[in-house]
Structure 1
């Protein structure tokens, strides 16, 4: 594990798992951290140079001021710069997908391939945003103790989440508000993803409690070089973790074909 200062003074915690294969950046979901990627490191870490990044306000990376996902995309490029990596494939789940799409829009020549899971290129729905703002208030006023079970069910379905709940109990109201505000207030990029020329793969769970399948369908249709949409039956929102056995073969095949770039 390492920490580097990038993007005008932002500290970023990351793990470079090494390996001689093509580099692949791993970007986790909301409230998660690098540990989310253990199933993928085990499944294909020997074949690629996997680089997992703690996004702002998550894991070992602080968030000392307001930020947006464009900032986090620049953080990720800063990590690659630090490692001397010019080009990489990028995989992101949910929030990680927001960041991955923005990386491909900011510096398209540096993203060899793009795989996103349980994500959306659209802004947050108004009703969902209202619910999330109530969640911010409840976390601030009463703490996370009465909320983490619901968050786990919403994001992870019936996946055994006790270790993650213990981590969430340590998230202060101030930090939660900062990271949730970035999520709720993000801009839409669906009208721009047609600019992305990298090969792309969109995976989505039919049991996703956050984004309907229509969002994945719209994203896959808008990406010029997307492979056919992969639907994971009963897949939860954070499906790269909860349904790794179903997801990993698709990711492996996609990386084998596209991670090295042209």
Structure 2
């Protein structure tokens, strides 16, 4: 289990697959209150033929450190890991908050991005009435109830209840300070007016039933992105675990240029 210390945080990561494999490395970045194991299906599939990197963001999973106050902070962590691994160019693949991190890297360091994949992610946080109420109540309700309400909403109707409860327990184990600080960082994230600067092929994969970050918000980003491809899958906000095989197939087509 390799680790890297970056600005007071110890980042746990995986670096698997052949160094001389097909194409540039794929770098998977998970979302809020999750960890690198969100990408288990994709790691198993892609590491057979190409280099795959994934990490636990600071304060998440098996990584230490305080929560990020801005999205730029974890983006710097990812870049530091890439430097450490001597990866000059890659395909960032980010889910939800991880997609915000991936966009930040693509905008700030375009020379390091060959292609870009955003899974259930957007470029500007716009809250629905329900999410706005959750946001307003975040300091008034018990922490575990706040996390449970958010995670419950992340899955499409009909997803197994025990699996939802398992993900709620895992998310609630993330330190409160990390959860709330990152939540605030996502709230402040807004690069919608800049996504036109992303000039690499970009895949936007979204769950049709995503009520956390609705499809219509993603489509605003797609319209502004000059080289965007959109794929909608019958799932909620947690595509990597709700429909892992379908997501992997979409990623495979895109990163190999067969989409």
Normalising by the residue count of structure 2, what TM-score does the alignment of the two structures yield?
0.88
Q: Which moved more, 1:166-175 or 1:41-50?
A: 166-175
Quote the Cα distance in structure 1 between the aligned partners of 2:137 and 2:57.
23
Q: Which residue does 1:231 correspond to in 2? A: 232
1:152 corresponds to 2:154 = no
Q: Check 1:243–1:65 CA distance in 2 against 1; reply closer, same or farther (3 A cut).
A: closer
How far 1:5 sits from its partner (Å)?
2.1
Q: Are 1:236 and 1:243, in contact at CA under 8 Å, matched by a contact in 2? A: no
Deviation sequence 1:228-249 (CA, Å, 0-9, x none):
x11112x111212211122211
1:164 corresponds to 2:163 = no
Q: Which residue does 2:203 correspond to in 1? A: 201
Quote the Cα distance in structure 2 between the aligned partners of 1:147 and 1:191.
31
Aligned to 1:177, which of 180, 192, 195?
180
Quote the Cα distance in structure 1 between the aligned partners of 2:125 and 2:236.
20
Quote the Cα distance in structure 2 between the aligned partners of 1:85 and 1:136.
41
Unaligned runs of 5+ in 2: none
Q: Which residue does 1:244 correspond to in 2? A: 244
Deviation sequence 1:162-209 (CA, Å, 0-9, x none):
4323323323433322222222232x1011011111110011111101
Q: Are 1:124 and 1:185, in contact at CA under 8 Å, matched by a contact in 2? A: no
Unaligned runs of 5+ in 1: none
Quote the Cα distance in structure 2 between the aligned partners of 1:194 and 1:79.
27
Deviation sequence 1:88-127 (CA, Å, 0-9, x none):
1011111111111001011000011101111110134375
Quote the Cα distance in structure 2 between the aligned partners of 1:137 and 1:3.
36
Q: Which residue does 1:132 correspond to in 2? A: 135
- Secondary structure of the 1:131 match is helix
Quote the Cα distance in structure 2 between the aligned partners of 1:219 and 1:152.
24
Quote the Cα distance in structure 1 between the aligned partners of 2:53 and 2:106.
17
Deviation sequence 1:69-89 (CA, Å, 0-9, x none):
111111101000000111110
Q: Check 1:133–1:58 CA distance in 2 against 1; reply closer, same or farther (3 A cut).
A: farther
